[in-house]
A and B are shown apart, each in its own frame.
Chain A
Amino acid sequence: MESTVHTYLSKKRNAAPLAVFRIFFGLLMFISILRFAMNGWIHKLYIEPSFFFSYLGFEWVRPLGDATYLIFIVCGLSALTVSVGYRYRWSIIIFFLSFTYIELMDKTTYLNHYYFVSILSFLMIFLPAQVYFSMDAYRDKTKRFELIPAWTIDSIKLLLGIVYVYAGLAKLNSDWLIEAMPLQIWLPAKYSLPLLGDLFQQVWTHYAFSWAGAIYDLTIPFLLLYRKTRPLAFVLVVIFHALTRILFPIGMFPYIMIVSALIFFDAGLHQRILDYISRLFNIQSQDFNNRRSFEFTNRWKRKTIHFTVGTFFLLQLLIPFRHLLYPGELFWTEEGFRFSWRVMLIEKAGYTDFKVVDPESGRRFYVDNTRFLTRFQEKQMSTQPDFILEYALFLEDYYQQQGITDPEIYVDSYVALNGRPSQPFIDPEADLTRFKPSLKHKNWILPFNDEIKGL
């Protein structure tokens, strides 16, 4: 066993796939940041709001007023230097930190694919993506290597495989497979698409898309692994993600996934891509082919890297299952929902009214949420208990400053999940100021009046 692991860890592969991955990843991230800025989202999401929702333990991560733009500039520039492989290790560390900082500033904007970018860039810190076809290697002959450990390429395949398979497993539930929900809500609304618009009105289409989506997610990493099925698999990847791009507002994610899938191909394809880039920019790419083999030379450093990456993947395999530790319906309570590749699984709409009670005077009144939250924040808050609690505690502070010594905060909350009629969400008798944000089960969430069977 140990020798198998050892043999695997010492296996070498051509460095081109990882270099191509680095180039495209950096470039896409740069475009992604640029697009974010050009849509005016930096201002809209991080400057305009007066209140921000935090991740547990990361309350200190906040937007920095106008300096927030600076973080985006740093992030965008580091994406570019990652792409060209200039001072790669520093670049990818800075990119990881700045990108993750941005994501932690406000929980409202949580997206699975932003999380994916964060952990992928963390993984890339430990990969020798700069030893081939990079500025670093170009400037210093001793840093050029044609071969790298195979595991460094495989680790990206593994991460992609986890994302797909976990997303597929999450789709194996009764709402998705038996009710065709939430596609049955989403697809008819796309009536104005040419050709497909009419098709989306048909119930069988909703089922076909649901089932195809689940099968796609569960099988695509394996189809990409085998040479025989790889070209077909790649065509499927392109079609699948092009469709999701047309149907849903998911920004750059489809392109990231399409480009990432290239890592499964043999080095020959990547060499052709690099040749093409070389011709485009007149680069002497042959200089990189020196038959030298990259090794994490320092034994201690090598062990640390193996251990870190190993732990990283162990966590990646376990974290998505943490919802098993909570009672109640996962889609309803969302305890353990984030960071687990539950992608496009639920359609939730909610409405939450906060009632402030001054026990001293008996005065009670409702809060106008638009005074403190943007419409987007209000929407996200209304369906997720951890948001509701955080906002209630903010209101407690606010009304204390307004002169109510010990305000009690109650909520009237209704949520509709996957086409079901709305039902009360939070116990209206629970004074939320008595609770603190934590990972513990929130027993003030009312039970879900239905059952969703599945993993």
Chain B
Amino acid sequence: MRKLSFLFITILFLGVSCGDNTPSGPSPDDFDRQAILINWSDNIIIPAFRNMSTESAGLRSETESFVQSPTVQNLTSLREAWETAYLAFQHVSMFEMGVAMDLRYRDNLNIYPTNPDEIEESINSGSWNFDLPSLNDSQGFPALDYLINGLAATDAEIVEFYTTNPAAEQYRSYLLDLTLRIETLTNTVLEDWTSGYRDEFVNNSGNGANASLDMMVNDYIYYYERNLRAGKIGIPAGVFSGNPLSTHVEAYYSDGFSKALFMESLTAVRNFFNGDHFDSQNSGESLSSYLQYLQSMKESVDLSTLIDEQFVSAENAAAALSPDFRQQVEDDNTLMLATYDQLQANVVLLKVDMLQSLNINVDYVDADGD
């Protein structure tokens, strides 16, 4: 008995002292998970929001020019600014954390299809409150799409809405308000990240349902599944309804811009997985490198490679698509469905295989086995 207790205490002591060897930071064998959070925030999230902020300021100033002098030429410049900003948004849309979550940033900037009747109603009534959730679908990029691409068939006719139309002043003011709101919301989110949330995010590096890594991965998969796979491809292709819904494509009124948005968002999602820095050739710690580290403890397929290859397969499938998804859905939906299948295959890898490897729980309740 005494011998047993002695042995036991010795083992316990050894166990504790093993952990004690490295009081200052993780041992060299450990993977530094905080480095992922640092790479994400400093090299991906914040630069992407900075860029988004610049582009949304550009969009606002082009809108001001157009509102001051509504010409076909200014309309064309405004469209270009809208496209650049919309592309920039694809790099920040998935980061619905911190104040972005409180503001419901994504819902305010990119709910589509937009609601033209509601927009016209607001414009005719001369008043609108974009803070109302009920107006989510009459603001942001899709509403802009309608107002600069969808009001009429020709540019000259569109410009008339801002010049000779009886409600021209309201049209101008609604348009300007839309871009102001995009800029304000973006700057609020950027400021939140740069004035403290970054540190909070990086320091919340533990494990558990409310840890940054767990929340980010959950949000990331959610975005991939809901907004990218379903929103941009699946819903317009009729995967969830049984019949194609060409009205549900992103940038519906534009002259073939939906594919560019989709490709940009796929790139953003892939870069995030691989830890590729925003707007640079460098890369850092990421889900990919974390998976590589964890796989090293098991003899298994290299999951990070599988996932990255699957992103490429989706890109390749999408390469065959027309720049205008609306047309694609109406002409040959099978190509859309084929792209969907490639995106879907990665949902399985991300949500099943990756979540299993990272051991990230979907939801907190004490019920995981027992």
Contacts and interface: CB of A to CB of B under 8 A. Distances in A.
Interface of A: 39, 41, 44-45, 108-113, 184-186, 188-192, 194-199, 201-203, 228-229, 231-232, 235-236, 239, 248-251, 253, 343-351, 353, 356, 358, 363-368, 374-376, 378-379, 414-416, 419-422
B208 to A, nearest CB: 8
B356 interface: yes
B196 interface: no
A210 B208 CA distance: 22
Contacts of B132: none
A358 B370 CA distance: 41
B6 to A, nearest CB: 11
Interface string B203-215: 0011110010000
Contacts of B301: 421
B359 interface: yes
A379 B362 contact: yes
B176 to A, nearest CB: 37
A366 to B, nearest CB: 5
Interface stretch (B65-73, B147-155, B238-246): B238-246
Interface in B205-240: 205-208, 211, 230, 234, 238-240
B370 A112 contact: yes
B19 A196 contact: yes
Given A186-B359, A419-B300, A201 B352 contact: no
Contacts of A229: 1, 4
Contact of A188 (B208, B297, B355): B297
B238 A365 contact: yes
Given A198-B19, A351-B351, A249 B294 contact: no
Nearest to B205: A192
Nearest to B218: A375
B117 interface: no
Interface of B: 1, 4-5, 8, 12, 15-16, 18-20, 22, 26-27, 29-31, 33, 205-208, 211, 230, 234, 238-243, 294, 297-298, 300-301, 303, 344, 347-349, 351-353, 355-360, 362-370
Q: Which of B31, B205, B239, B358 has the most CB of A within 10 A?
A: B239
Contact of B369 (A343, A356, A421): A343
A248 B158 CA distance: 61
A185 B359 contact: yes
B154 to A, nearest CB: 37
Given A41-B365, A347-B356, 20 more contacts: A44-B365, A113-B370, A191-B31, A194-B19, A195-B19, A202-B29, A232-B4, A232-B5, A232-B8, A235-B5, A249-B367, A345-B369, A349-B353, A351-B351, A358-B242, A368-B230, A374-B363, A378-B362, A416-B352, A421-B303
26 contacts: A111-B366, A111-B370, A112-B370, A189-B358, A192-B206, A195-B20, A197-B26, A198-B30, A199-B15, A201-B29, A202-B29, A231-B1, A232-B8, A248-B369, A249-B365, A346-B369, A348-B356, A349-B356, A350-B352, A366-B239, A367-B240, A374-B363, A379-B362, A419-B300, A419-B356, A422-B348
Contacts of B207: 189-192
Nearest to A186: B359
Given A189-B207, A345-B369, A376-B367, A419 B30 contact: no
A63 to B, nearest CB: 16
Nearest to B341: A412
Contact of A363 (B16, B242, B367): B242
A344 B369 contact: yes
A422 B5 contact: no
B297 A198 contact: no
Rank and list the top 3 A-B pairs by shortest CB-CB distance, nearest first: A192-B206, A195-B19, A189-B359
B245 to A, nearest CB: 11
B1 A415 contact: no
Contacts of A189: 207, 358-360
A365 B22 contact: no
Contacts of B208: 192
Contacts of B230: 368
Nearest to A203: B297
Contact of A185 (B356, B362, B366): B356
Contacts of A195: 16, 19-20
Given A185-B357, A344-B370, A376-B362, A366 B352 contact: no
Given A198-B27, A199-B15, A414-B348, A188 B294 contact: yes
Nearest to B29: A201
A401 to B, nearest CB: 16
Given A229-B1, A358-B242, A191 B362 contact: no
A249 B368 contact: yes
A370 B167 CA distance: 42
Contacts of B347: 351
Given A44-B365, A189-B358, A251-B366, A422 B240 contact: no
A113 B211 CA distance: 27
A349 B18 contact: no
Given A232-B4, A251-B366, A345-B369, A363 B243 contact: yes
Contacts of A345: 369
Nearest to B30: A201
B33 A191 contact: yes
B31 A201 contact: yes
Nearest to A362: B242
A61 B298 CA distance: 43
B193 to A, nearest CB: 23
B177 to A, nearest CB: 33
Nearest to B208: A192
A337 B364 CA distance: 23
Nearest to A190: B207
Nearest to B7: A232
A248 B368 contact: yes
A188 B359 contact: yes
Contacts of B369: 248, 343-346
Nearest to B27: A198
Contacts of A113: 370
A184 to B, nearest CB: 6
A235 B8 contact: yes
Nearest to B25: A198
A414 B352 contact: yes
Contacts of A203: 297
